[in-house]
Amino acid sequence: MFRGLCLPLHPRRTLLMATTVRRSLRFQAQQTTPLADDLDSPRTSEKRKRTLDEEEVSKIDEQRGAKVAKKTRPDPTYIIPDVTSKETTFKGRLGYACLNTVLRNKKPAKDSVFCSRTCRLDSIKKNGTEWVKDLGRKNAEDLLTMIQWNEDNDIKFMRMSSEMFPFASHPLHGYTLEYCAPLLARVGELAKKLGHRLTAHPGQFTQLGSPKPEVIASSVRELEYHCEMMDRMGLGVDSVMIVHGGGMYDDKTATLARIKETITKVLSPAVRARLVLENDEMCYNAEDLLPLCEELDVPLVFDYHHDALFPSSIPRSEIIKRANAIFVRRGIKPKQHLSECRPGATTLMERRAHADRCQSLPVELPDDMDLMIEAKDKEQAVLHLYRIYGLHPVIQESLRPPDENPSMETKGRKSTKRQKTKAAKEEGKGDDE
């Protein structure tokens, strides 16, 4: 009855059919000409890829290349300002402490090179001793890279980080370095081969004159750890451990007597063989320590910055002469420390903080001296002095510009607000915490 009859469709049904057709056409187009993102999808079959002609493949490769180029950051371009040349007769070595800023700031972060990976005590309790020992292994591996970088840049003197092996001297969670002996031997062999001097400076909590037995025990363990690290590297007598006199504990004379007793009766021969003392800016100037050092034949490292803040009545030239005589008697290469105050510093607490770089070598500096540059810019401070005095040629790619507006503020612990609140307190009181 209705055969051959063509009835009109409802408008809504017509629209639905048209939409379905358009979606079908778009889907077919996507299947025949996939984008670069689609080719990267695991759901895209090899058969579909092979159907693309050469022109389409070329377009997709261009898309991929554009994505990679967009993600890759170009190397930064540094503008290095000129320096004012100066003259010197100095022929010794300049060194820096613990961290190389060029290697530490490498991008991406996984490529960063440094030797101070550490952790909190809670992390050891959570992850175990093997976990923290692995941090030490990575630090030692990166030390190899730092030594080679130094060699490439004519720097043959460096202080190793005291955090090389985190909590190695802890009374409960401490550990020996035997597990890392082969790697430490490689470090020592490289340093010896290249003629580099490696030293250490155990932290401020190493107090040889403390009246508390537990603090003395902790200090001895810290020195034993540093000594073991150096011994396993096979380092010679020039690899010394620098320690300050520490606190006065309200009686400088009695404290000096305790320091003497600790050195002579408590320290092992191996530790004592590497021990040197250093004058500081708060408690013990060079004049305070020199008689003890001469009596015990313990070398004295003269720090110019500390001497400027807490000077001795003895002329610098005499202090250096007497201090160097101890080094010579012991067969150890003499060394000194140099740093400068930050711009704008006026109070003692402000002046204690180290500047980013040093601008001059000391007038009293002996020509053949190992001089540790204690500056915030680390290796850049050494290269800066190389340029000023023409001590060594520098590699342009290794240079970084100084802070254009340095201030007396620094990220170091000596300029924190907590430290500034102590400025008005009586100077020189020791603190075991």
- Write the pLDDT tens digit of every residue in 332-341: 999 999 999 9
Give the model's pLDDT for residue 360: 98
Give the model's pLDDT for residue 76: 83
Average pLDDT over residues 374-378: 97
- Per residue in 303-341, pLDDT (tens digit) is 999 999 999 999 999 999 999 999 999 999 999 999 999
Q: How far apart are CA 263 and CA 293, in angstroms?
A: 11
Domain ranges of the chain: 20-69, 93-400
Nearest to 162 by CA among 116, 127, 120, 205: 116
DSSP calls for 185-245: HHHHHHHHHHT-EEEE---TT--TT-S-HHHHHHHHHHHHHHHHHHHHHT--TT--EEEE-
pLDDT band, very low/low/confident/very high, at 28 (cuts 50, 70, 90): low
Average pLDDT over residues 370-380: 98
CB atoms within 10 A of CB 363: 9
Share of the chain above pLDDT 70, in %: 77
CB atoms within 10 A of CB 231: 16
pLDDT band, very low/low/confident/very high, at 405 (cuts 50, 70, 90): confident
Give the model's pLDDT for residue 419: 47
Average pLDDT over residues 90-116: 96
Q: How far apart are CA 405 and CA 402, in angstroms?
A: 9
* pLDDT value at 18 more than 60: no
Average pLDDT over residues 246-260: 97
Q: How far apart are CA 134 and CA 39, in angstroms?
A: 40
Distances (CA, A) of 252 to 212, 248, 276, 308: 15, 5, 19, 20
Q: Which residues contact 311 (CB under 8 A, 6 or more apart)?
A: 285
Residues 131, 70 contacting (CB under 8 angstroms): no
User: φ, ψ for residue 285 (rounded to 5)?
Assistant: -85, 180
- Per residue in 137-175, pLDDT (tens digit) is 999 999 999 999 999 999 999 999 999 999 999 999 999
Question: Which segments of 231-330 are extended strands (E)?
Answer: 241-244, 275-278, 300-303
As assigned by CATH, the class of the 93-400 domain is alpha beta
Give percent helix, percent strand, percent coil of the chain, each to the nearest 5: 45, 10, 45
- Higher-confidence position of 29 and 379: 379
Residue 338: its H or E element = strand 335-338
SS (H, E, C) 150-184: HHHCCCCEEEECCCCCCCCCCCCCCCCCHHHHHHH
* pLDDT value at 252 more than 80: yes
